[in-house]
Structure 1
């Protein structure tokens, strides 16, 4: 039997990783429905397992969960997307006027600072003209992109695949999830299987604990902000609330961005009725209190977290390398890389490279 040296094994696994990344890059244009199917299946697997424990078969549990998830997704899309797109378009068109009104309100407050710094006066007419031009460019670019997507055969195929193929992929992955895990486990190199299983368990804990928990926190906060801002009568409250919730996985950033947008809109819309501005501030205050005292402790707890800077880097790197598919897998990959880095640091501290040749 031929003995393979450790260096040869490292070269083999590095070559396999390079081939995998190359295939991921080459097939990037058609991977979206499959990646979305994997993500959805991973999130829904605990529900299927719970139904199995209640006595349902794996197939029936998978069928029930998949059908229910599709119905919920369709219902939410039909309820939210039309008003969301309408508000977003109106916000882009109205953005120059609202910005000028806001600048007119805060100009008396910043004039003393501007004079001390010898800065030129702010021209509201020039600001409005510039912002109107930019808003028109944004709408033109959005229209051009939509037109190209409609004309592009591959993009149209991806859209159809996302709508019709993703539920099928999700169903089969959910049904065969345990078989896939067993097959992967059976293919592990035997002398490193225990270490790989340990790292896989820690990676799953990081993804399940942090990513699933943070996703639920973002959905909850987005719903709270969108509903709350809409109830207090803030224009574009649905869009602003959903934006704030969507980026709440970065601590304080989602709330800060959403609060700045909402309060800026409130300062334009409500004064001299300052009660409306107070109501908007209360919505974000309540959201922060719920996040800090209820949502994050219950949904995320003390599970393995990721540093916000590492999350932002992962999202930018994933998007730059693999587009929207890269954005989808960026945070889970970042969680796995974090586990591997901690393992390598632990191995390094136990080695002679760290302890020295004379260490016992």
Structure 2
């Protein structure tokens, strides 16, 4: 006999409370394990594909881990120093950009850009603030990232956790399935599959789109000679999970930098604009339909809210669990709404009698 609903809610509520308490108390400790689990979840389809091609699980995992280590090492040795250097130069060059903008506006609108005008003071203040705050923000980001993800975690704990979780992923899922309460196992499996589809469409599908677009924008902008192309391309790629926003914000920023750098060379400025137009076409018509598909994923606003809320409350570890928790809450919310729409609370007695009459007529016809 199943437990009463109130008692079941008590147990489930206690489990959720314990989960958040563990996040709060052991955030830094469990960070490498969450990172390893996230990477293993992302790469599990690749391991399954290699198994279907004839490789054993251990061989598939070894091939994946070696490839991952090589790619990570290349990024750290080749891309990270260049990215940091360009970001630092961008922060330092911002006041000069605002000065040039102020000079141009003064020539075009001398009345508005008088030395004592509010617009002139605003532009000068923005440039100085960006330089001061930007350098401070950059230093904080770098120092906090190195504090949370130390060299030890990067070189040892995270790869080891990823290796073992990826190796035993299917067994872990099977053991978790055995632990489900038997009365609710079919419903929980259905919800878990919906959560996996929503999560995979975002993490695997949209995450892959973000990586591809970051490489595309960064490579093409650097190829045309834009000074801070790598930084702008990376930011545009990371924002690719928000439809149109990455192209609009990244495009405006890149074109502004192109105007500052290539002033008068309009073909070069137009080329930067063409890159973002082509990137939007590539993302919307090729990558997103192929990699994300039409499955129900996560709404961008919901993702932004989850990242902001969990990041503010739980710090870096909150950012790691924000998307999975958001996917789970979204699926549970849709499930609860569907249960409500099927209930007498929504339909009322009139619809209830109509359903009974239609069923009775169906039984009589049979």
TM-score (ref. length: structure 2): 0.88
Match of 1:59 in 2: 58
**Among residues 328, 332, 340, which one is paired with 1:348 in the alignment?**
340
Match of 2:120 in 1: 123
Deviation for aligned residue 1:211: 2.5
**Structure 1 pair 235–356 and aligned structure 2 pair: CA distance change class (3 A):** same
Q: Distance in 1 between matches of 2:318 and 2:140?
A: 24
Change (3 A) 1:157 1:206: closer
Does residue 1:136 correspond to 2:132, yes or no? yes
Aligned to 1:55, the other structure's residue is in SS state: coil
Give the CA deviation at 1:163. 3.0
Q: How does 1:238-253 map to 2 (within 5 A)?
A: 238-253=230-245
| Deviation, structure 1 residue 243 | 0.6
Write out aligned runs for 1:85-164 (5 A): 85-106=84-105, 120-123=117-120, 127-128=123-124, 131-132=127-128, 134-140=130-136, 142-143=138-139, 155=147, 158-164=150-156
Provide the secondary structure at the position in 1 that maps to 2:184: helix
Distance 1:275 1:144 in 2: 38
User: In the TM superposition, what is the alpha-carbon distance from 1:34 to its structure 2 partner?
Assistant: 1.0
CA-CA distance at 1:292 after TM superposition: 1.6
SS of aligned partner of 1:189 = coil
Aligned-pair Cα RMSD in Å: 2.5
Distance 1:108 1:357, change over 3 A: farther
Residue 335 of structure 1 is matched in structure 2 by 327
Q: Structure 1 stretch 339-348 or stretch 2-11: which is displaced more? A: 2-11
When residues 3 and 282 of structure 1 are mapped into structure 2, their CA distance, relative to the original with a 3 A threshold, is closer
The residue that corresponds to 1:24 in the other structure is 23
The C-alpha deviation readout for 1:295-322, integer Å capped at 9, x for no partner, is 1111112121322211211111121122
What is the TM-score when the length of structure 1 is the normalising length? 0.90
* 1:324 is the counterpart of 2:348: no
Corresponding residue for residue 300 of structure 1: 292
1:130 CA displacement: 5.5
On the 8 A contact 1:205/1:304 being kept in 2, the answer is yes
1:29-44 aligned within 5 A = 29-44=28-43
Unpaired runs of 5+ residues, structure 2, are 354-366
Counterpart CA distance in 2 for 1:97 and 1:281 is 23
Distance across 1 between alignment mates of 2:333 and 2:149:
38
The 2-side partners of 1:254 and 1:10 are apart by 41
Aligned-pair CA distance for 1:209:
2.2
Taking the TM superposition and a 5 Å limit, the aligned residue runs for 1:204-283 are: 204-283=196-275
Name the CA distance, whole Å, in 2 between partners of 1:149 and 1:175. Answer: 28
* Displacement of 1:14: 0.7
1:321-347 deviations in Å (ceiling 9; x for gaps): 221222222223222211111111111
| 1:72 maps to 2:64 | no
| 8 Å Cα contact 1:33/1:161 also seen in 2 | yes
Q: Deviations over 1:167-202 (max 9, x none)?
A: 000000011111110111011010000000001111
The 1:332/1:44 distance shift into structure 2, 3 A limit, reads: same
- Asked if the contact 2:2–2:183 (Cα under 8 Å) also holds between the matched residues in 1, the reply is no
Are the aligned partners of 2:42 and 2:203 in contact in 1 as well (CA < 8 Å)? no
Q: Out of 279, 301, 308, which is 1:309 matched to? A: 301
> Quick one: structure 1 residues 43 and 145, their matched pair in 2 at CA, closer, same or farther if it must change by over 3 Å?
closer
Q: Find 1:291's aligned residue among 276, 280, 283.
A: 283
Quick one: distance in 1 between partners of 2:305 and 2:140?
Answer: 29
The aligned length equals 350
